[in-house]
Amino acid sequence: MAEPTDPRLDDEERALFARGVEQFNQGHYFECHDTLEDMWSGVRGPSRDFFQGLIQVSVAFYHLEGGNTQGALSMLSRALARFAPYPALYFGFDLAAHRAELLAWRARIEAGEAAPPFPRWDFAPQG
């Protein structure tokens, strides 16, 4: 199976994505989830799972912030599975580093050591 190609987003979708990244980086995980879902609902093709994985990451940290460690673990595992087919760099996102970071967070949660500061998304949009 070929690696997924970078998504083609319209201006509105790109603006929603940028807003979602900003919300995640500010710790507004529920809002990030809503914003990315608004964007994701119109996305078709091989990039759809990538964006759904990011939504699941935001939900994971929303759960973790609220003390729902089982919900956080479930969402992180689901996100990692969605990210699996994508290359190390995808849509301006260092997905290899993000996957490693999520695996480390999953281990910390399982060990009962998960505490802020939570991760940030470094995103450099392409084209």
pLDDT at 69 over 90: yes
Lowest mean pLDDT of 6-15, 24-33, 57-66, name the range: 6-15
Instruction: Give the pLDDT band of residue 87 (cuts 50, 70, 90).
Output: very high
Give the pLDDT confidence score for residue 2 in this predicted structure. Answer: 58
- For range 25-52, the mean pLDDT: 93
Q: Which residues pair with 94 in a beta bridge?
A: 89
3-state secondary structure of 42: coil
Query: Across all residues in the chain, what is the average pLDDT?
Result: 90
- For range 16-24, the mean pLDDT: 94
pLDDT at 102 over 80: yes
Give the residue from 25, 17, 24, 74 showing the smallest Cα distance to 47: 17
pLDDT at 1 over 70: no
Cα 40 from chain centre:
12
Set out the domains of the chain in order of their start, with CATH numbers.
Answer: 11-110 (1.10.3450.10)
